[in-house]
Amino acid sequence: MSISPRLLGLAFASADTLIEIDVDGRVVMAIGAGPVSGIDPGTTWVGRPLKSLLGRASAVVLTDALAKLQPGVRCPAVDVVVVCDKDHVRRARLRIFLLPEIAPAVSCALSYEGTAFALAVPQAPPMLDADTLINRVQLALDEGRKSDEVSLAFVDIPGLGTETDESHRRAEARIEAALQSASIDGASAARLTPERFAVLCNPGDDTAALVEQVRDAGAAEGLDILSTSTQAGIDAGLPPGLVMRALRVALKACIESGQNLRPDQIFSENLKHTLQEAERFSALVKKRDFKLHFQPIHDLRTGEIHHLEALARFDDESPAGTVALAEALGLIDKFDRAVVEKALQQMRRPGFTHLTVAVNLSGASLSNDIYIQTLLKMTQPFPEVRSRLLIEVTETAAVGDLEAANRRLGLLRDAGIRVCLDDFGVGAASFEYLQNLSVDIVKIDGSFIRDVDTSERTRTLLGHLVGLCRSLKVATIAEMIETEAQADAVRALGVDMGQGFLFGRPSADPVMPVPARATPVRRRQGEVTGWG
């Protein structure tokens, strides 16, 4: 066998198409396979400039590579896009070499990668957000899939969204369409951040294929877009509702984490931790393994203690973080019932039988009748206790149906149990709650009290709030009072009661001190922020 066929065989072993171009960059010889069936490079490419066979950006890459070409020095391979027809292109690796013996002719070798793909920007469903993606996961589970039969593939594309030219915008549209098509139903991909996507898929789906699809989408617009893809399974034996809420917490961590951290690990670790915390919290509530501390609320006119607020404590610490998680996971209703059960037990013990106690109730627990029915049943044998019980509604943003919530609160008030609306004044919805919920007391948020003694604007706003409540025959409490000056200011504005460190901190065995002032002081606990 002559040397020429052997050299040709070796060349084809490392390339799909062999090309020689002249000093002007025109193809003078082409042998091998075309980018798609039906294209014969030997007959259709000869006589044409090589750059005319490539995409716009690839033509620039070729021109730059030829300018740097040195005789006898192998040029690094470059990524190009080869035009198949007016609607399709195919990615390839191009190697060029200038052999001194045949200069100025230049030898080129093309190796195709992937399959041809369309140039037109595909139409696809819009990308989901994190909340809608969670709903799609729920739908997938409801359709008969087990919790370990769906996965989330995370795709990170550094730098995406930083450019605003037409090519980048079209590339983004292609990427989104490719990720949607890779999802289990063609419409379950979400854009979590400008550079991070999540795709609902089947376990074992090839994440490398997602990376290739992203690369193809960029190549269609002449862009070299790099990405990474990882996958995390959704595997939990807890009720689907709890899993969904845990997913929400885990996805939030993926959104807030740095781009350098692996999203699949972040997601899996947060999901696992959240579900473990849910189990721990459920066990804690079942065993009633928490304490109640009590903080005094003072009558600002007489200086006497008006009532105490019961605040849950875990190992003597504020449970704000634990309770926030319980609310996110939909476990707060059982905790609310456990807290009021403990409070009622305390109210029947010696030393407490004459005291009024306020107990927190999350707005989420007003979504059904369970809490109200449980409370009425627990207090039915002790009608006297009902007159000393005050239910303080916290997290009012969780109240979905105001009409239904008001009906439930009305059942308490009809039984002689008073109702307080917490955190009043925060957010535009406060007035809607006051309009739609029949309550006996509102607790003015501590943000109004912080500078009430120094800010005329704050005093003006607070004065209007107090006047509104007075006209509705609703009593007022100011929280987070820490100084005598703040107490004097809210008293002057007509606030009825005060709560804060000035009057006493939460304690398991609250001391009932006489206010250390000759002038009666309206005092209130300032530490309370929701659950204390």
Look at 115-124, 262-271, 368-377, 475-484 and tell me which has the smallest mean pLDDT: 115-124
Does one domain contain both 382 and 310? yes
Q: What is the pLDDT of residues 286-295, one digit of tens each?
A: 899 899 999 9
Q: What is the pLDDT, as a whole number, of residue 341?
A: 95
CATH code, domain carrying 326: 3.20.20.450
Judge if 112 and 226 occupy the same domain.
no
The SS3 of residue 359 is strand
Mean pLDDT over 241-250 rounds to 76
Please report whether residue 513 resides in a domain: no
Q: Let me know whether 262 and 297 are in one domain.
A: no
What's the rounded mean pLDDT across residues 202-228?
83
In a domain, 514, yes or no: no
Q: Which of 231, 246, 279 is the last residue of a domain?
A: 279
Q: Answer with the one of 91, 118, 145 that is the final residue of a domain.
A: 118
**Please, which pLDDT band fits residue 2 given cuts at 50, 70 and 90?**
low
pLDDT, mean of residues 502-521: 65
Residues 77 and 156 reside in one and the same domain: no
426: helix, strand or coil? coil
Residue 186's domain comprises 130-279
What's the chain's length in residues?
A: 532
> Can you give the CATH number for the domain in which 169 is found?
3.30.70
Looking at the predicted structure, is the pLDDT value of residue 532 above 50? Answer: no
What does the H/E/C string look like for 143-192?
CCCCCCCCEEEEEECCCCCCCCCHHHHHHHHHHHHHHHHHCCCCCCEEEE
Pair 223, 313 in one domain: no
Q: CA-to-CA distance for 125 and 137, rounded, in angstroms?
A: 17
In this predicted structure, the answer to whether residue 260 has a pLDDT above a threshold of 70 is: no
The answer to whether residues 140 and 260 belong to one domain is: yes
Rounded to an integer, what distance in angstroms lies between the CA atom of residue 362 and that of residue 398?
8
- Whether 226 and 352 map to the same domain: the answer is no
Residue 111 lies in a domain: yes
Given 65, 89, 118, which residue is the final one in a domain?
A: 118
Same domain, 244 and 344: no
Assess contact for 13 and 1: CB atoms under 8 A.
no
Measure the CA–CA gap between 369 and 154, rounded to whole angstroms.
40
At position 404, the amino acid (one-letter code) is A
Is a pLDDT exceeding 50 seen at residue 531?
no
> Tell me, what CATH number does 108's domain have?
3.30.450.20
| Domain annotation covers residue 66 | yes
pLDDT digits (tens, 9 = 90+) for 148-206: 567 889 999 988 878 778 778 888 988 998 899 889 888 899 999 999 999 998 887 88
Residues 341 and 475 in one domain: yes
Are 383 and 471 within one domain?
yes
Q: Are residues 235 and 94 in the same domain?
A: no
The structural domain count of the chain equals 3
| 117's tokens | 């793909």
For residue 63, being part of any structural domain is answered with yes
